[in-house]
Amino acid sequence: MLEVGTKAPDFTLSDQNGNTVSLSDFAGKRVVLYFYPRDNTPGCTRQACAFAQNFEGFRNKDVVVIGVSKDSVASHLKFAQKYDLPFILLSDPELKAIQAYGVWQEKKLYGKVSMGVVRSTYIIDPEGNIEKVMPKVKPDTNAADILAYLEQ
């Protein structure tokens, strides 16, 4: 995981509509960059829906919300349409951003060890530096926790 104060690594990935999106596109804005394991799984769906329910709060603060997983553009489009997600979902099948942000880690599930995305969130300040690191976040409270932090 990256440290607070570090320059956020730039990346260019495709969103759910096939558009090319770079982190640098949002220079001058605060960005919530959240990494999640997989579209349409229970935890990831709850997390995405919580961001959608809180989206007005982020928009009112001029904060950009971006979700990243290794799912395909087509999978992201179906996920976004199914749950009416109003924010950017980026496809990272080659793990470029996922590895740059240190969220591709060893995971244990039922005693089995595998590599995967650890659900984590970064808040990036308008200058492009990491303002807050939130490792191993809970899907149900992640969006509300970020909004509470932004209120401080």
* 21-25 contacts at long range (C-beta below 8 A, 24 or more positions apart): 21/66, 21/88, 21/90, 23/124, 23/128, 24/128
Indicate if 49 belongs to the active site: no
Nearest alpha carbon to residue 119 among 55, 50, 63: 50
Query: Which residue, among 46, 131, 35, 53, has the nearest Cα to 89 in the 3D structure?
Result: 35
The Cα angle at residue 148 between residues 100 and 15, in degrees rounded to 5: 40
Residue 78's SS3 state is helix
The answer to whether 53 and 139 have CB atoms below 8 angstroms apart is: no
The catalytic position among 44, 48, 50, 88 is: 44
Q: Which residues are catalytic?
A: 44
